[in-house]
Amino acid sequence: MCHSMIQFALYGLYAIVTLLVLFYGLYSFLLPRLRARLSLWRLLYRVYCAIRRKSAKPVARWRIWWARGAGAVCLIIACIWLVNLHPQICIFSQPLYDPAMHHWEVENGEGSPEEAQVLKQLDEVTQREWHRDNAVSLCAGVVFNEKTYVLNAGRKVINRAEPPNADTLFEIGSITKVFTCAALAGLIEEQQVSLDDPVSALLPGWTIPEYQGRKITIRDLATHRSGLPRMPDVPMPGAVADGVLFRGLIDPYRNGTPQYVSEFLAQYTLPRAPGEQDEYSNLGMGVLGYALSQKTGQPYETLIKQRILEPLGMNDTGVRLNAEQEARFAQGYISPLRLGQIHLIFPMQRWNFTEGFQGCGCLHSTVHDMLKFVRTNIGAPDGPLGKAMERVQEPLFDVPDIDNCKIGLGMFSIKIEGLEDLMYWHNGGTGGYNSFMAFSKKYKAGVIILTTGICEEKLGHEILKVLATR
């Protein structure tokens, strides 16, 4: 939720600045003489003349043309910003999530009393925990006792009545990191790599930073203990234009090429020894994904497809989508700001991750596909990829910033009040999309939530607690 609120705050600030520039441009362009008369320099000049008891000269013609020209420039800039931000104002007579209309459903159910009771409890906890205007699209799924339960609410596109469903595609953001580490775990099982291998061994020709001789290992990257920052502090190519045109949040990874990452690493100085301290790093996981692709001689997309997606039958998950899948994609939105029935929202384009960062957040998926992944995790070490997923889940280090939380290979586990078993989890957020995945192995229950707008992660916690009491 924090990620979404920061995004919305930034876009709100951008929108205010855009409107101010737009109004200033209109004022200067349409009323250049008044603008010239009321300019700071003109006012100072009039004060000077009053002090000297001189008559002020009329406004020079060039100043009027200058004001009109400045207004035209401001109008052009404001129009470019509006195109990039393209805020929409929508009016809804009913909330996008209405507990009276939107209910959990069981797929291929038998109509048993147990199913009815689970549905009732899921509806109750959702009504209690979900703020009805937090998301434009909401798709959630639960696996419990081999049954699948789904909830769909909102709209795929804000100006159409078509609702999303469990086959609607979303960006899953940082949950991609679990797939990257699952591929890593498979390579470890095959003894192609080791957790203690230095990443430099997988990236010949790259200069990887060290700290007093301590090299960054694959384990360090997979557990966010490499010493690398969350993101590089050196602007990507095109960053100046992105900043001027307000594109910084629209597609921030598209220029994160391997060359850019390699050049950043070559000049970066580690602040501490790798393995010494936890620091969540999109950069580090991007480097890991690219290193694995170089080790196997496969593009990241092919690596994940062959090692994870095809064995699990996850046919709607991937980096690139075909035309039929594109038609099922939900439009991303920054969380709505509501005033009564009026909603202010910012549509977002999808993020394009280039090879240097694909391992940290590039995948798209559906609730149906993600539930297959959740089932595989719950069933580990048995079933397809079971040994690899067991390795991913194994807690390795504490996460100091989160109470009772540990991290394995890209997968977090935590003890939460009301749940006797560990909750394994990961979340994700990109421009306009948010996601949450969690499961309990003891209770054989799991939940996935995909949204455009804010994702209420507490709902996932409460769902697992409810199912654990059954």
CA–CA separation, 330 and 433 (whole Å): 9
What is the pTM assigned to this prediction? 0.88
| Adjacent-strand bridge partners of 70 | none
**Burial (CB count <10 Å: 0-12, 13-18, 19+), residue 142:** buried
**pLDDT value at 138 more than 80:** yes
Per-residue pLDDT tens digits for 66-87: 888 888 998 988 888 887 777 7
- Local confidence band at 444 (pLDDT 50, 70, 90 cut-offs): very high
**Burial (CB count <10 Å: 0-12, 13-18, 19+), residue 284:** buried
Average pLDDT over residues 211-220: 96
- Local confidence band at 49 (pLDDT 50, 70, 90 cut-offs): confident
- Local confidence band at 198 (pLDDT 50, 70, 90 cut-offs): very high
What is the separation of C-alpha 444 from the centre of its chain, rounded to a whole number of angstroms? 27
| Amino acid of residue 303 | L
Q: Which helix (H) or strand (E) holds 64?
A: helix 61-85
**Number of C-beta neighbours around residue 316 at 10 A:** 21
Among 64-68, 163-167, 169-173, 369-373, the minimum mean pLDDT is found in 64-68
Which residue carries 């509006």 as its tokens? 82
Residue 470 pLDDT: 75
Under 8 Å between Cβ of 149 and 137: no
Average pLDDT of the chain is 89
Under 8 Å between Cβ of 7 and 334: yes
Share of the chain above pLDDT 90, in %: 59
Reference 1, options 470, 455, 367; nearest CA is 455
Residue 1 pLDDT: 43
